[in-house]
C-alpha cells in the first residue's frame, strides 16, 4: 500500500486563471472560494482568475495561493484519497495544516490574509532574494555569515539550489563571494521583500497576536514543519512554529528527506505549478511524484491512485 504525502506550494507559483476549472466544475471547490471571499472581504475568483497586478503582490498572493490549494484539497478529499503526512513550502504550510485538520478553512484564510499584509509591510525599503545553484548549503550559510549586513539562507529547496535573503547590499556582497567560491549560477528572484530573514521578525510578532484568535485543533494527520523538518503531532506547538516560520529558513529538502525516511513513497503536490514536484525529483529518484493544479491532473492522479 502506498504511503502518500500531500504537499502544498508557496509563493511564486501563482498565475492568472489558477483554480478556475475546479471553481466552475466542482461545487465543493466553489464553496472554498466563497468561504475565502467572505472571510477576507476580497473577491477571490476575480483575484485568481483574471489578469491583474495584485496577484504578484505578497498581501494578495498568499491568500490567493492558499485558496486555490485548499479548493483542490477539498476535491481530493471528496474522493476519499488521504495522506499519512502533509507538508508545505513556506505559505504552503497553511495548506498542510488544513489537510491535517489543525486549522479550519476560516482560521487559515484569516491568518494568511494578515500574514501576507504583515510580510508586505515589514520591510518597506524592500530587500532581495537570490537562488544559488551549485554550492553546498553549509558553504552558502558560512559565506552569508561572513558578509557585513543582514543576509542568510532562506530556503533549502533541493540539492544544488539554495535561496538567500536579506538586505539588498548584503545579498549583492554575498553573491560576489558565492561566485568566487564556485557557485555555478545565481538568479535574482522577483520578490517584494527579504522573506525568511530576521528582517521579518516584526511580522512574526504581529502574526503571534493574530494567532491568539485562531483555534488549533487536534492534529489528525501529522505534518512536517519548515522550521525543524520534523513530524509534528502535538497541536500545542503549532502557533509558535508558525511565528518562527516567518523569519526562519525553510528546510524543504530536509523535510522531504524526513518524510522519505518515514516511509513516504508517493508525493502529491496540491496547488498551482509544479515547483515542489521538481524539487522532490531532485531530492530522490526513488519516489513517485505527481501534481494537481487543474482538473485534468486531478483525473490522472485519481486514476493512478484509486
Catalytic one among 69, 83, 90, 152? 90
Longest dimension (CA), the chain: 55
Question: CA distances (Å), 115 to each of 47, 66, 79, 87, 136, in order?
Answer: 17, 12, 31, 18, 31
Label the pairing between strands 266-270 and 4-8. parallel
Strand arrangement, sheet containing 223-224: 231-232, 223-224, 85-88, 4-8, 266-270, 288-292
Rounded distance between C-alpha atoms, residue 130 and residue 164, angstroms: 5
Question: 100 an active-site residue?
Answer: no
Question: 196 an active-site residue?
Answer: yes
Helical ranges in 126-250 per DSSP H = 137-146, 168-180, 201-211, 238-245
Catalytic one among 69, 100, 152, 196? 196
Backbone phi and psi for residue 78, each to the nearest 5 degrees, phi listed first? -65, -25
- The residues near 115 (Cβ < 8 Å, ≥ 6 apart) are 62, 91, 203, 207, 210, 246
- The residues near 246 (Cβ < 8 Å, ≥ 6 apart) are 115, 118, 119, 196, 200, 201, 203, 204, 207
Residue from 73, 110, 13, 107 nearest 221 by CA: 73
CA angle 152, 158, 164 (to 5 degrees): 15
Kindly list the catalytic residues. 90, 196
Amino acid at each position: 500500500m502506498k504511503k502518500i504525502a500531500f504537499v502544498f506550494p508557496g509563493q511564486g507559483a501563482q498565475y492568472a486563471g489558477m483554480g478556475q476549472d475546479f471553481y466552475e466544475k466542482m461545487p465543493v471547490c466553489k464553496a472554498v472560494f466563497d468561504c475565502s471571499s467572505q472571510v477576507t472581504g476580497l473577491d477571490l475568483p476575480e483575484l485568481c482568475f483574471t489578469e491583474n497586478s495584485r496577484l504578484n503582490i505578497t498581501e494578495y498572493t498568499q491568500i490567493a495561493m492558499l485558496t486555490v490549494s485548499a479548493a483542490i484539497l477539498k476535491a481530493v478529499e471528496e474522493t476519499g484519497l488521504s495522506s499519512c503526512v502533509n507538508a508545505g513550502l513556506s505559505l504552503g504550510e497553511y495548506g498542510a495544516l488544513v489537510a491535517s485538520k489543525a486549522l479550519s478553512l476560516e482560521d487559515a484564510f484569516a491568518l494568511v490574509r494578515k500574514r501576507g499584509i504583515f510580510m508586505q509591510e515589514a520591510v518597506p525599503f524592500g530587500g532581495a532574494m537570490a537562488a544559488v545553484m551549485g554550492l553546498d548549503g553549509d558553504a552558502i550559510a558560512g559565506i552569508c555569515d561572513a558578509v557585513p549586513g543582514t543576509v542568510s539562507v532562506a530556503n533549502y529547496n533541493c540539492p544544488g539550489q539554495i535561496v538567500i535573503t536579506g538586505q539588498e547590499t548584503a545579498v549583492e556582497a554575498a553573491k560576489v563571494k558565492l561566485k568566487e567560491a564556485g557557485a555555478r549560477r545565481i538568479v535574482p528572484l522577483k520578490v517584494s521583500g527579504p522573506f525568511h530573514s530576521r528582517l521579518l521578525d516584526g511580522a512574526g510578532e504581529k502574526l503571534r497576536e493574530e494567532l491568539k484568535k485562531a483555534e488549533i485543533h487536534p492534529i489528525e494527520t501529522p505534518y512536517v514543519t519548515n522550521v525543524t523538518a520534523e513530524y509534528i503531532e502535538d497541536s500545542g506547538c503549532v502557533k509558535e512554529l508558525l511565528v518562527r516560520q516567518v523569519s526562519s529558513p525553510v528546510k524543504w529538502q530536509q523535510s522531504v528527506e524526513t518524510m522519505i525516511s518515514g516511509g513516504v513513497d508517493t508525493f502529491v503536490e496540491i496547488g498551482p505549478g509544479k515547483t515542489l514536484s521538481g524539487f522532490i525529483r531532485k531530492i530522490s529518484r526513488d519516489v513517485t511524484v505527481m501534481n494537481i493544479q487543474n482538473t485534468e491532473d486531478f483525473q490522472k492522479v485519481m486514476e493512478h491512485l484509486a
